[in-house]
Amino acid sequence: MTTAQPARTSYLSTPAGHRLSYVDFGGPGRPILALHGAYGRARAFAALADRLGPDHRVIAVDQRGHGRSDHPGDYGRDAHLDDTASAIERLGLAPAVVLGHSLGGINAYQLAARRPDLIAAVVVVDIGAEIDVPEDTAIRNLPRRFPTLAALRAAIASAVVFGEVAHFTESAVEDEHGWGFLWDAAEVHQTKRAVCGRWWDDWTGSGQPALLVRGGASPVVPPDQAEALVARRPNTRLVTIDDAGHDLYLTHPDQLAAAVRSFLAGLPGVGPGAQGPAGHGMR
């Protein structure tokens, strides 16, 4: 495991004129584009990036409505996929290894089906092809600002249905009005409603190598669906981390990193020693 270094937030512009922020955790290895889940942010991948280095270089994007990225108003499926495609193209990562948690995992495998030229392999973390998300009523009813960080943490802890509170509080910020979040709960609700559905055509619509990592204690991908996901899609590997919940990228970074390393090690042009794109920068 390498020693984590501070990583700077940079920005890129999509063809639609929206700004996406991203964090390049650095290192000489083959890049992995990382996509967080709903209510998450790019910087939360720091622990995983530290464990995957130096063989792999994690570049994480704040998805629209999250982190330091713009809030353009459209939170449908096509908008998210266009953003992911733009990030790969602007940063010169194609064909990219894309690792996505939850919402990010849906974006990864849907883009693999619709733009296979951009994707070399996908790592899908605790999300499947049949998605029903609980109503985030308690989160949407929270006040926009809190007097202290302790008050914010207590409020979000009482509102979270499942998952790690740290997944939400990574986006806590203070301004002149008090403590709040970088995301807007109503906007994230739109994003989550748009992912509800049955996405088997997208899941089976690509042939790139895929790794599905599920938390054994998570309700999101039941064992029977996990088996079907692997059975229906060739070139797909399943890893279950038995005692992990949904936000396993935070709680089990060692096990997740080990699974990702093992998966990528055998892929031509992707494993340790493979050279990634020559370079990239803000565009």
pLDDT single digits (tens) 13-40: 999 999 999 999 999 999 999 999 999 9
Question: Which two three-digit tokens encode residue 47?
Answer: 């622990």
What is the residue extent of each domain of the chain? 9-129+198-265
Task: Tell me what pLDDT residue 271 has.
Answer: 57
Task: Tell me what pLDDT residue 81 has.
Answer: 98
**Distance in angstroms (rounded) separating the CA atoms of residues 207 and 204:** 8
Q: What percent of the chain has pLDDT over 90?
A: 88
Task: Tell me what pLDDT residue 148 has.
Answer: 98
**Confidence class for position 283, pLDDT limits 50, 70, 90:** very low
Is the pLDDT assigned to residue 276 strictly greater than 70?
no
Is the pLDDT assigned to residue 4 strictly greater than 60?
no
**Distance in angstroms (rounded) separating the CA atoms of residues 111 and 203:** 10
Could you read off the pLDDT of 169-194 as tens digits, one per residue?
999 999 999 999 999 999 999 999 99
**Distance in angstroms (rounded) separating the CA atoms of residues 166 and 218:** 16
Task: Tell me what pLDDT residue 280 has.
Answer: 46
Give every CB contact of residue 241 below 8 A, 6+ residues apart in sequence: 213, 214, 215, 216, 248, 252, 255, 256, 259
Task: Tell me what pLDDT residue 279 has.
Answer: 45
Instruction: Find the mean pLDDT for residues 203-231.
Output: 97
Task: Tell me what pLDDT residue 151 has.
Answer: 98
Of residues 271 and 243, more confidently modeled: 243
SS3 category, 145: coil
Could you read off the pLDDT of 66-87 as tens digits, one per residue?
999 999 999 999 999 999 999 9
Task: Tell me what pLDDT residue 133 has.
Answer: 81
**Distance in angstroms (rounded) separating the CA atoms of residues 239 and 126:** 10
Give every CB contact of residue 88 below 8 A, 6+ residues apart in sequence: 33, 94, 96, 98, 118
Residue 72: cis peptide before it, omega within 30 degrees of 0: no
Give domain 9-129+198-265's CATH architecture: 3-Layer(aba) Sandwich (3.40)
